[in-house]
Amino acid sequence: MNIDPVKALDGKVERLKKELKSLETRIDHAQTDAAHHQLSQANQLKDNTRKLTKTNDRVTELAESVHRLERLLVALNRKVRASETQKADFDDWPEIDEAQLAKIHKGQEAYARRVFTPQEAKDTRKAIAEYDRRALEAIDAAEALTHLPPSAETLWRKNYQQWRSITDQERPDAPDDDTHAKDTVAKTAGNEAIGHVRQLIRARIEDAVARDLLFPAWFENMLGPAAPPGKADDWLYTATDVVLYRLLHGITSPADALGPAPQDEGHRKTLHNRLTGECADYRRP
């Protein structure tokens, strides 16, 4: 038994110190464990991300390969059908004659023609009257030249200049009052012709679809192998327009349905753009 209180206190302090040390050690251990745990989790996350990326790449590759296969299949399908299926003919149209196409062209021209506004017609008439007045003046001046003595130089100059003022000018064309009526007739005839021709073309396309005929290469290139589900009517409408476009503008390329894009602004360019856009929609998977 220790009777010295100082010694007893010392012993206690010593024990407490030991306990403190053991506690510190335990806390240190706990911290290290937590750090380890976190690190391993982070590593796992990184691993997973890497795996995901790899999987993504693989999926892309696979999609490409599927796409390639799909195209191969379409081509193969065509080849197989070509050997045993009857071909649809969308290039020869004996039932559509030149006169009808000419009517359609005339109607389109009539639609494209700019109509004289009343103000413009008035201005043109005024310009014509002005021109006529000056022409008569110039004729008078030229008449003066026929009896002037050669020495009257000032008068010669004046009259000669007056004459010259008319020779380098054009008489504007008179606004035609008939244009409007003629255009209306041309538009009506063109619309009728378009309706008729469209009916013929559509009937032949529908027949080809019904009999499962092989479409021409340009047709399939442009409109896909068949109508997209649920859009048969729109598809037929566009297909009719494509065939009509080829007919109207004399395009005979076996591969390119619409031919080169037209340079000039106008109805043809609008139609070309419209058909290109619509057909791209139909080809989309």
Partner 1 sequence: MAADPFARLADRQQSLRTALRALKAAGPGSPDFRSLLATTNAEVEAVVQARRDVEAARLTSPNRMIAIATTAAALIVAVGWFDAWSLLSLLVAVATAASVLVDPAGRRVFEPRARTTAICAALLATLLTPLASGWATLITAAGIAWWAWRTLK
Residues that bind partner 1 in the complex, under the rule CB under 8 A: 131-132, 135-136, 139, 142-143, 145-147, 150-151, 153, 156-157, 160, 163, 166-167, 171
Label residues 248-264 b or e (16+ Cβ within 10 Å = b).
beebeeeeebbeeebee
CB of 198 to partner 1, least distance (A): 41
Q: Are 207 and 131 in contact (CB under 8 A)?
A: no
Closest distance of CB 162 from partner 1, Å: 11
- Kindly tell me which of 171 and 231 has the beta carbon lying closer to partner 1: 171
For the CA atoms of 37, 43, 44, 49, what is the dihedral angle to 10 degrees? Answer: 150
CB 168 to partner 1: min, Å: 10
Q: Are 244 and 281 in contact (CB under 8 A)?
A: no
Q: Which is nearer to partner 1, 78 or 134 (CB)?
A: 134
Give least dist CB 144 to partner 1, A. Answer: 10
Rounded CA-CA distance 245/153 in Å is 66
Nearer to partner 1, 171 or 269 (CB): 171
- CA separation for the pair 285, 282 (Å, rounded): 8
Nearer to partner 1, 135 or 189 (CB): 135
CB 194 within 8 A of CB 176: no
Nearer to partner 1 among residue 172 and residue 228 (C-beta): 172
Smallest distance, Å, CB 128 to partner 1? 8
